[in-house]
Chain A
């Protein structure tokens, strides 16, 4: 018997996702189904519309809901940005961006301001969003009441009756026990005065950005098969109490790279002797600021002092 030729056996496998699939992967029937759910979600802000999420070629929990929403809205002229933890270059953000480059051939960017569609996991960009932009959130558990009441049949009734006492009791118990509301991310919000909604596991630092936002915000939960939305310029109120108003985290130092203040920072452990530094979680924000600084320095060096920022 001839031994197999190792060179042949080692044929590399390249993913050619584009070939043989529809634009943006989903078939048109699935897109229409998702699009109808999106329209109802917009008409009923904060209400979770059930939809028949498909099994996607990436695992549940990896953003299948966000990917389906993005695939349903994306057009050939869109410019897509994908972030995970605020960063464009985290592996799953890279993977999702490549999925759409391969299946839809659309332009991508890391610049928040240049994007028409931004898919995100766990952060809202620091740069203010504009009209015409759509922010698509990947959502693991869309039901804000799920950890208080595990049954869908029950939580559906609670939403129908706008009965959110459970949530207030939970937050108040936190205060009684810890002196603070001990929810730091996925902090519940009330949308347009009616539905209580899970903003996905963004840090509560980002909650104020959802309020009165000029961009449309869409939320997709694939495993849990729900889509919900916040239309532009919609009142989004973080739940709180008169004597314990909602507060966001503030860092008492700027980003060690770009010097930005009032942004969310990642803590980077530098060594095993307690060394650590804090840098922008939003990598585009950081790089844009660094670029501006460099530009200003260049201009200073060139003598164009009048234009220095």
Chain B
């Protein structure tokens, strides 16, 4: 029996709008976690949230790059091609969007397009499906590679703590370099079951030592952490 293709949005107009607005809010208020509710049941390891953002934001005009786990099952490419029409590209440097199901093995940011000085918008947006996502202060974290940073900058009133994982061990250094290249750089959307957060390149990592109320250890380094 041929596998049936998973459905797209039941109501593409309003579902697409709702997902976009969630993404817009997420990038407007870096690090703040927002609900992202979707009824999609895409082929694994494409998560419902990754699928929702892909359907809302990509189409024939946006080359999309898939990470290795997503490439491994052709059903994922089939689902995305059918519902978005987006060309799937092998070279991450040619992608407008990158869908990443295994964020711990996210390729270096330098593999993706950072834009050009004249057109910094010609840059990639990474959408990472993480297990944990936290914008709470404090350390309710257990043993998992998780990047925890405090950010300041546009969209942030004062400072905002943000943690996500699993992410590569050098994530905080990567982000510092990404921000230092502003206005060039990549932008990230993080999804977890039912939730979404954003980190635009404008998000500036701040030295936790100087952040009042911080425990001082939450600076630019990867810490073992988890949260639910």
Contact = CB atoms under 8 A, between A and B. Distances in A.
A194 B183 contact: yes
Interface stretch (A44-52, A94-102, A197-205): A44-52
B16 A47 contact: no
A233 B202 contact: no
A145 to B, nearest CB: 14
Chain B residues touching A, range: 35 or more
B24 A38 contact: yes
Interface in A220-239: 230-235
A39 interface: yes
A157 B62 CA distance: 26
A157 B20 CA distance: 31
A128 to B, nearest CB: 14
B205 to A, nearest CB: 15
B24 A29 contact: no
B13 A28 contact: yes
A73 interface: yes
Nearest to B12: A28
A137 interface: no
Give the most central of A42, A73, A74, A233: most B CB within 10 Å. A42
Given A47-B120, A232-B29, A39 B59 contact: no
In this complex, which of B12, B14, B62, B121 has the most chain A Cβ atoms within 10 angstroms of its Cβ? Answer: B121
Given A42-B27, A44-B183, A232-B28, A35 B155 contact: no
B47 interface: no
Nearest to A212: B157
Nearest to A22: B13
Given A23-B13, A42-B28, A74-B17, A161 B187 contact: no
Contact of A44 (B118, B157, B202): B202
Interface in A106-127: none
Nearest to B17: A75
A37 B121 contact: yes
Instruction: Label chain B's interface by main secondary structure.
Output: loop
Given A36-B62, A42-B24, A234 B154 contact: yes
A216 interface: yes
A187 interface: no
Given A43-B200, A194-B182, A231-B28, A35 B118 contact: no
A35 B187 CA distance: 15
A160 interface: yes
A214 B32 CA distance: 14
A148 interface: no
A276 interface: no
B62 A192 contact: no
Interface residues of A, number: 43
Contacts of B14: 23, 75-76
B172 interface: no
A31 interface: yes
A74 B17 CA distance: 7
B155 A234 contact: yes
Given A44-B183, A45-B202, A73-B24, A160 B154 contact: no
A233 B57 contact: no
B21 interface: yes
Contacts of A159: 118
27 contacts: A23-B13, A28-B16, A29-B59, A31-B16, A31-B17, A31-B20, A39-B187, A42-B24, A42-B27, A42-B200, A43-B187, A43-B200, A44-B183, A44-B200, A47-B120, A72-B20, A73-B17, A73-B21, A75-B17, A160-B117, A192-B202, A214-B157, A216-B28, A231-B28, A231-B202, A232-B28, A234-B154
Given A42-B155, A73-B20, 11 more contacts: A39-B23, A39-B57, A42-B27, A45-B202, A49-B121, A50-B119, A157-B118, A192-B153, A192-B154, A214-B157, A231-B29
Interface of A: 22-23, 28-29, 31-33, 35-45, 47, 49-50, 72-76, 156-157, 159-161, 191-192, 194-195, 214, 216, 230-235
